Amino acid sequence: MLTRQTFHALRSISGPPKKSVELPKYDLVIVGGGIVGCATARQLLIEKPNLKIALVEKEKELAVHQSGHNSGVIHAGIYYTPGSLKAKLCVEGLDLSYEFFDKEKIPYKKTGKLIVAVEPEEVPRLDALFARAQTNGCRDIEMIDSKRITDIEPHCKGLKALWSPHTGIVDWGYVTKKFGEDFEKRGGKIYTSYPLEKIEDNLKDSNYPIRVSSDPSYADFETKNLITCAGLQSDRVAALSGCSTDPKIVPFRGEYLLLKPEKRHLVKTNIYPVPDPRFPFLGVHFTPRMNGDIWLGPNAVLAYKREGYSYFSISPSDLLESLSYSGMQKLVKKHFTFGIKELYRGIWIAAQVKQLQRFIPELKYSDVTRGPSGVRAQAMDSAGNLVDDFVFDSGTGKLSSLIMHVRNAPSPAATSSLAIAKMITSEAITRFKL
């Protein structure tokens, strides 16, 4: 993997670059070193091995943000609207993921998942969820009673539950880096520490009509086509080529608790709530991790910075951008009470533990400590609706036919990543005539 500093050093051997010096030229440049960008880069070289492709990432390594700050769950596709891309790609992605893990000897665990109804009013929603899972083609999903719940998870209490035996856990950050390694083995180039600043037309060169630029100290790239998978920065990156800023990315931070090591016996599988359609986020759950940790949570609060993982990580400009957005103002008005409760649970651990005790009553405040957090790139429209499915955009103008922006790749994008990569690759081959 080439860092920007290494590339700069190579340039310095022959002195400062001049206009006559030929810039690096590629058939395709991919922006974004998260799991979707790396999976797509790899898939393109699987299907079109003769292409010259570069991937650029602004951080020092791959998977720094969402791909490396997530729950690590391999989802089965139960929750998602039948017929949606989320549902289709998740079900396909689960099988592709396990196949890749086995082939590459990537550690994972099929821990399964319980979706538990603890109140009578949740049972009809659980029944509807079971029907949805069957419509989506999720394999081997069972509706189980309270006895089966305790057989699977002895400390968990509930009236009924869905049991998903093929749900698992993995380190998605590690998986992302394996995608990157495979991409490089196939001849691709990765440039880290390369923040994208400009997308410009280079139409004087009909063979390489797009110029991708970072700061003036580092080389530009000339490319025939461009795909961006920029996650938390996706709306800003799309705007560089003239796209609308809608949907807007609004960052939401999810804060987890950790179960103390001596209490890890309380949780063996993923335990999830029945979603409540009145609220915009799922709610707290129990998640085993590959290293043996048990994560509890998360809540969902507005992050004060696009990539801000704590209350003390603040960007005034990012915060102002979120709060001044009409969609965010409408969301706050609609879900004000919910938002205050989420903020309260983030500050007062006991309030979050109370929610968790609905599933494991013997859990105590003294059993947990503060844990890690992640930031979710939530796409939102100007009406205050959370955009729940994939969004692709090319904008308008001279370069629109040569560019594809992945504007929204919502959870479960990690599980779906290989299926997403196949879809993007198919579209790119057709659109770009590769």
**Local confidence band at 396 (pLDDT 50, 70, 90 cut-offs):** confident
Tell me: pLDDT of 245 over 90. Answer: no
pLDDT at res. 14: 26
pLDDT at 89: 95
Whether 257 contacts 284, CB under 8 Å: no
- pLDDT, average across residues 365-386: 95
The per-residue pLDDT for range 174-195, each reduced to its tens digit, is 999 999 999 999 999 999 999 9
Q: What is the mean pLDDT of residues 314-339?
A: 94
Tell whether the model's pLDDT for residue 9 goes beyond 70: no
Residue 315 has pLDDT above 80, yes or no: yes
- Of 331, 351, 353, the closest CA to residue 343 belongs to 351
> Does pLDDT of 431 surpass 50?
yes
How confident is the model at residue 215, as a pLDDT?
80
pLDDT at 339: 84
Q: Does domain 25-66+173-247+389-432 have CATH number 3.50.50.60?
A: yes
Is residue 103 predicted with pLDDT exceeding 90?
A: yes
**In the structure, what pLDDT confidence band is assigned to residue 279 with cuts at 50, 70 and 90?**
confident
4: pLDDT strictly greater than 50: no
Categorize the per-residue pLDDT at 388 as very low, low, confident or very high, splitting at 50, 70 and 90. confident
- Angle, helices 35-47 vs 413-432, to 10°: value is 50
**Among candidate residues 385, 382, 381, 401, the one with its CA nearest the CA of residue 393:** 401
Instruction: Output the pLDDT for position 176.
Output: 98
At residue 22 the predicted structure's pLDDT band, cuts being 50, 70 and 90, is low
Strands 248-259 and 294-297: what pairing? antiparallel
| Confidence (pLDDT) at 184 | 97
Q: What mean pLDDT do residues 281-288 have?
A: 90
Q: What is the mean pLDDT of residues 252-268?
A: 96
The answer to whether residue 20 scores a pLDDT higher than 60 is no
The mean per-residue pLDDT over the stretch 369-389 comes to 94
> Cα-atom radius of gyration of the chain, to the nearest Å?
23
Say which residues have a Cβ less than 8 Å from residue 212's Cβ, sequence separation at least 6: 29, 31, 56, 196, 198, 199, 220, 221, 222, 223, 226
User: Is a pLDDT exceeding 70 seen at residue 143?
Assistant: yes
Q: Is the pLDDT of residue 19 over 60?
A: no
Confidence band (pLDDT; 50, 70, 90) for 21?
A: low
Alpha carbon of residue 145 to chain centroid: 33
Over residues 254-275, the mean pLDDT reads: 96
325-335 mean pLDDT: 94
What's the mean per-residue pLDDT of the chain?
A: 92
Buried b (16+ CB within 10 A) or exposed e, 172-186: bbbbbbbbbbbbbee
Cis omega before residue 17 (within 30°)? no
Residue at 268: amino acid letter: K
Would you kindly state where each structural domain of the chain is located, as residue ranges? 25-66+173-247+389-432, 252-380
Percent of the chain with pLDDT over 70: 95
Mean pLDDT along residues 45-68? 97
Lowest mean per-residue pLDDT among 139-143, 285-289, 385-389: 385-389
Distance, in Å, from the CA atom of 76 to the CA atom of 115, rounded to the nearest integer, reads 12
The confidence score (pLDDT) of residue 283 equals 84
**Which pLDDT band holds residue 390 (cuts at 50, 70, 90)?**
confident
